[in-house]
Amino acid sequence: MALHLCKSIIFCSSKNPSFRYKSHFSFSFSILFFSTSTKKQAKNALAVSDFLLQKHQLSPETASRVASVLTRMKDPENSDSIISFLKENGFSKSQLERVVKTDPRLLSASLEKTIKPKIKIFQDLGFSANDIVDIISSAPTVLHRSADHRVTPSLSVLKSLFGSSSEVAKVLKRSGWFLINHLEKTMVPNIEIFKSRGVGMEQIIKHIYNFPRFLLHSPNDMNKFVKKVDEMGTCRSSKMFIHAVRVVSSMKDENWELKLKHFSNLGFSDDDIFKMFKKAPPVFAVSQRKLKNVKEFLLATGKYDISCIVSHPIPFLCSLEKKIKPRMQVLGILESRNLIGKWPSLSTITVMSDSKFLEKFVHPYSNEVGEVYMANR
């Protein structure tokens, strides 16, 4: 087929000289068009870059990033007004650069219809100028969101939960996802899911602070996570219940199954796995390598067995090098010199604060273990 087509082209060009001329003309025109287009784009990008560098003294990195996305500045005066407006409202040079690098298209937005109304919403709700700057710097895309359908409803939900604008600001500085997500369809029903299962608002609020995206799952997914936790035997009245759901929500189904299989490969029975999950769900978010290293180290001490680890799985959440090993080394020295009769429980060793451990096991025997302990910290 290809050979036949090739022959046809040769035949046509030999029979009709104008064919070669037209083909050559089209090909030359295409090259000229794309060459001209490329030069024009390069020229426009350079103009954008120069505008940011010369007019507003932004960094070359920022100018290059914006110019690579915003290859043409349709209305330089509008872009100039936007940058000037943000400066006037307290944005520092570094914050301004963060905003335009994250969302270069903001410089082509409408100052009057898109940007000013969002700033005014925050001002009307009592947010301080510094808080507004910090929030928008951390999530510039909020300026593109609908004022009536997204920003105002989300802020209302957050204010009903946290009370003051200053508290809402703390949450938004941690994550701008709350202003991007539809809270009335995600977080609000998810809160009700946990409240209906006996979880107190204090715990729920802490999770919003510490794990911002957790309650932004779809309610359908959240119910599936809750069901999986129920199947693991975690009591809904337990303070670990919401932690368990969060850990399960952080993994895909196949990763969750691999995690359970890894515990099994480490020598833990199904019953052991269920017990550890009930006691300390965050352990199941620990990497496989760390689980293996901590388990092997604890067993190698000869002081703790699998049943001790199952009863007190918290060591999996501690630093092996900075906490567990230095403390075990101190206890080993003290035992070898008959300064302690019995090793403390695994729970005591890992949960005890640094100040308490120093007070009980290091300071009284500083000549024997002081330097050793501090050298391994």
At residue 40 the predicted structure's pLDDT band, cuts being 50, 70 and 90, is: very low
From the CB of residue 197, how many other CB atoms can be counted at a distance below 10 Å? 15
Q: pLDDT confidence of 71, banded at 50, 70, 90?
A: low
Q: Model confidence over 129-143: pLDDT tens digits?
A: 999 999 999 889 899
> Do residues 115 and 109 touch, judged by C-beta distance below 8 A?
yes
What are 320-375's pLDDT values in tens digits?
A: 999 999 999 989 989 988 988 888 999 888 899 999 988 988 888 887 776 666 66
Name the residue type at position 130. N
Q: Is residue 52 scored above 80 in pLDDT? A: no
Taking the model in full, what pTM does it have?
A: 0.78
Domain boundaries along the sequence of the chain = 41-109, 112-181, 185-250
* Per-residue pLDDT, 264: 97
CB atoms within 10 A of CB 161: 18
Judge contact between 282 and 249, C-beta under 8 A. no
Phi, psi of 279 (to 5 degrees): -75, -40
Determine how many CB atoms are found less than 10 A away from the CB of residue 107.
Answer: 23
pLDDT greater at residue 212 or residue 371: 212
Neighbours of 129 (CB within 10 A): 12
Q: Residue for token digits 């017990």?
A: 275
**What's the mean per-residue pLDDT of the chain?**
84
Would you place residue 80 in the very low, low, confident or very high pLDDT band (cuts 50, 70, 90)? Answer: confident
What's the rounded Cα separation, in Å, for the pair 313 and 324?
13
DSSP 163-196: -SHHHHHHHHHH-THHHHS-TTTTHHHHHHHHHT
Q: Which residues contact 250 (CB under 8 A, 6 or more apart)?
A: 285
